[in-house]
Structure 1
Amino acid sequence: MIRYLVLLGTLLGPSMAESYMSVNCTAGEEDIYQFNATLLDGSATVDFGDYRGKQEPGNSYEEIVNGVKYVRPGGGFVPNLTYFEKIDVNGDNEHPIYTFLKAYCPYTDSVFEVSENLFYSPQRVSDVRWNWEKFLITKEGKPYKRYNANTMDPAYLEDDIAYLLSQ
C-alpha cells in the first residue's frame, strides 16, 4: 500500500482567527523529491527522492525518540520510521521544503496575527502556526492539501488519502 507523507510543523502559538479544517494546494512543476533532510542523529543526509512513490516518514535524538517511546504514544512504542533533525519551518532560517510547501498550500486561517511571542522573523501570512498543522503530499511529490492544526482526528484525512490512493 502506498502511503503519503504528512509533514508536521514546529511548536508555535495557536491563531485566534477563524480557521478552515483544510485548504487545497495549487499544482506546480516542482515536487518534494528535490529536497533533503539530515537524520536526527546527524549521521547522514537523506534525499527525499529516495522515498519517491512510498513512505510515511526535541532537541536531540534521545529526547525525540524517548518522547515517542515513553510519552506520546508511550507504552514502549517504537515506530518503524526515519527520524529527521529538527528544522525551522518559518522565518529567515526556514528549511527549503517548507518554503516550497507554503508556496503551493494557502494558509488555513482567515487572518494572520503577528505576535511578539513567536521566536522567529520575519512573520508571514503563510507561516505554519502550530505543530500539528499537516501537509498531504501525493506519490508524485506534489502538495495536495494543507490541514489546520485543529484537524487532530486522523479520520478527517481518510477520504483525501483514499482519493489519492484511487488515482
Structure 2
Amino acid sequence: MSEKICVGAIAGAFGVQGEVRLKSFCSEPRDIASYGALTSEDGKRSFTVKLTRPVTGGLGARLSGVATREQAEALKGVTLWAPREALPSLPDDEFYHADLIGLDVFDTGGAPLGRVRAIFDHGAGDILEVVGKEQLLLPFTKAAVPTVDLTAGRIIADPPDSDE
C-alpha cells in the first residue's frame, strides 16, 4: 500500500489574490483541508489548505506560499497528496483507489484475468479496468468482485457474461 494518497488537484487560479480552485477527490470534498499539510506528488512542495468558498467545479482555497494569481496559475494541474496516516480508516468493505490499482485479478476458478490498471466512476458506481490478455471493465460490486484481499495483493472476480 502506498504511503501517500492523492486527495485532490489544483484546477487553476480563482480571483486575483492567489486563491486557487481545488478539485477534491475526497468522498466529503471539504475534508481535503483536514489532513494537514498536503504535498505535490514528488513531495518537493508542501501546502497548508484553507478553504474559502464553494466555486464552480470545486472549492476556492488559499494555499500557503501562494500570494498572486500568477503563482496560483503556475500550479494548475498539480495533484495534492496526503500521508496515509492522516486519512481516516475505512470499513472492511471500502477501499482507497490507490490500494486497488496494481492488484492481480483472478476469476472464481483461480485463472488469472489481469491486473487493475485504473478505476473509473462515471456516476453509477466504480468500474475497475483490468488489463491482461484482454481489457476487462468490471463493475466494482459484491456480485462482480466478491473478494478483495489487500494482504495477498489480489482480487477475485466473477465477471458478468459478455454474451448477455
Q: Shorter-chain TM-score: what band? A: under 0.3
Q: Comparing both structures, which one devotes a greater share of its residues to strand?
A: 2
TM-score of the aligned structures, taking structure 1 as reference length = 0.27
Higher-RCO chain (CA-CA 8 Å, sequence separation at least 6) = 1
TM-score of the aligned structures, taking structure 2 as reference length = 0.27
Bigger radius of gyration: 2
